[in-house]
């Protein structure tokens, strides 16, 4: 009886925490965005967005995975110090970058593509377009080029002169974190529960490494998928890719139905209990995920609402700027000398 009462008490505490966090997420605003405008480069580099779009179009045509790569770079950039290009900095004798953080090392790709875009921008408008803006524009184009929504990108961000490996290790969400932790991390950035569930939808074009989904496929995958025959076949395939030991870098799409198309099928997989990452499936099956589960169900049946919420969340996340300001780097991998 005491154990049951304790479990009920813990459940209620978590439920109350979810409600409080959700309310705070609607009240907390992202960091100052007053310097960001849609017209920032109209006079100083009017061809900026066209240059980014052209390079992204070529890159995505060559390899659709480039879309997810750039989108993920932008996300990991914004969650550490704000959207300031710090994720792009290489380690030097005087600066420790973020590329060796637990969620970045052997995982983030697309740096060479960023270099190519930056070289084109520097050729057209030297010292004008920041690397942070480059990522924000390229992320929008990446989504659009694989069938996702369009949104206007406010620009005018500056590039950080510093990076934070420590914050990269603590602030970026991880694949095995529970729902309460995930919501707390998003609220810490001025993003709501709705933003969380919408932005998770970017996994419709993402790939995951075996090391990040091993716990899931050898854990509660069978339970959440309710022993469905189709799910058993899918699980068997995943386990052939990712054994219990080794092959950490083997990859699998998080949306196995349409991995190269930005759509809402990812949410349908969560309804079936087939989310590849623990953190993704938490959106629907967590015992305290009242709001998140409703959003998953909505997005699974209504791609228009998903696209609208995703676009809004991307603008909101992109507006998280580094309050310390910075510079416009000539090379995205190094601060100016």
* CA 329, 83, 76, 118 torsion-angle sign: negative
Cβ contact 283:293 at 8 Å: yes
Could you count the other beta carbons within 10 Å of the beta carbon of residue 42?
Answer: 11
The per-residue b/e assignment along 250-270, b for 16 or more CB within 10 angstroms, e otherwise, is bbbbbbeebbbebbbbbbbbb
3 state SS of 62: helix
> Which candidate in 74, 76, 247, 309 is catalytic?
76
In angstroms, the Cα distances linking 322 to 86, 258, 264 are 10, 35, 32
Partners of residue 334 on adjacent β-strands? 331
CA distance 256 to 278: 16
CA distance 90 to 37: 29
Cβ contact 118:331 at 8 Å: yes
User: Using DSSP, how many helices (H) and how many strands (E) does the chain show?
Assistant: 15, 2
Cβ contact 182:48 at 8 Å: no
Any catalytic annotation for residue 247? no
Active site residues: 76
């Amino acid at each position: 009886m005491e154990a049951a009462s304790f479990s009920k008490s813990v459940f209620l505490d978590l439920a109350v925490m979810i409600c409080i966090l959700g309310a705070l997420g609607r009240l907390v605003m992202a960091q100052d965005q007053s310097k960001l405008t849609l017209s920032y480069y109209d006079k100083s580099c009017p061809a900026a967005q066209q240059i980014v779009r052209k390079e992204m179009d070529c890159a995505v045509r060559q390899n659709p995975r480039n879309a997810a790569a750039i989108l993920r770079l932008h996300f990991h950039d914004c969650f550490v110090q704000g959207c300031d290009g710090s994720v792009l900095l290489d380690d030097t004798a005087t600066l420790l970058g973020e590329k060796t953080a637990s969620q970045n090392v052997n995982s983030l790709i697309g740096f060479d593509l960023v270099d190519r875009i930056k070289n084109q921008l520097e050729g057209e408008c030297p010292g004008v377009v920041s690397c942070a803006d480059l990522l924000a524009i390229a992320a929008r184009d990446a989504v659009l080029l694989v069938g996702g929504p369009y949104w206007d990108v406010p620009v005018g961000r500056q590039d950080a002169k510093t990076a934070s490996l420590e914050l990269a290790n603590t602030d970026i969400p991880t694949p095995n974190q529970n729902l309460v932790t995930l919501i707390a991390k998003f609220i810490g950035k001025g993003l709501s529960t709705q933003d969380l569930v919408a932005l998770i939808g970017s996994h419709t074009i993402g790939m995951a490494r075996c090391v990040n989904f091993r716990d899931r496929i050898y854990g509660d995958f069978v339970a959440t998928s309710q022993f469905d025959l189709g799910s058993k076949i899918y699980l068997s395939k995943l386990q052939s890719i990712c054994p219990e030991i080794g092959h950490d870098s083997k990859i699998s799409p998080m949306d196995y139905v349409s991995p190269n198309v930005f759509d809402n099928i990812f949410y349908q997989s969560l309804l079936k209990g087939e989310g590849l990452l623990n953190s993704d499936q938490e959106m629907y099956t967590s015992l305290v995920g009242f709001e998140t589960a409703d959003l998953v169900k909505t997005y699974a049946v209504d791609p228009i609402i998903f696209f609208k919420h995703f676009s809004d969340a991307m603008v909101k996340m992109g507006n998280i700027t580094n309050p310390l300001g910075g510079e416009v780097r000539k090379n995205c991998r190094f601060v100016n000398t």
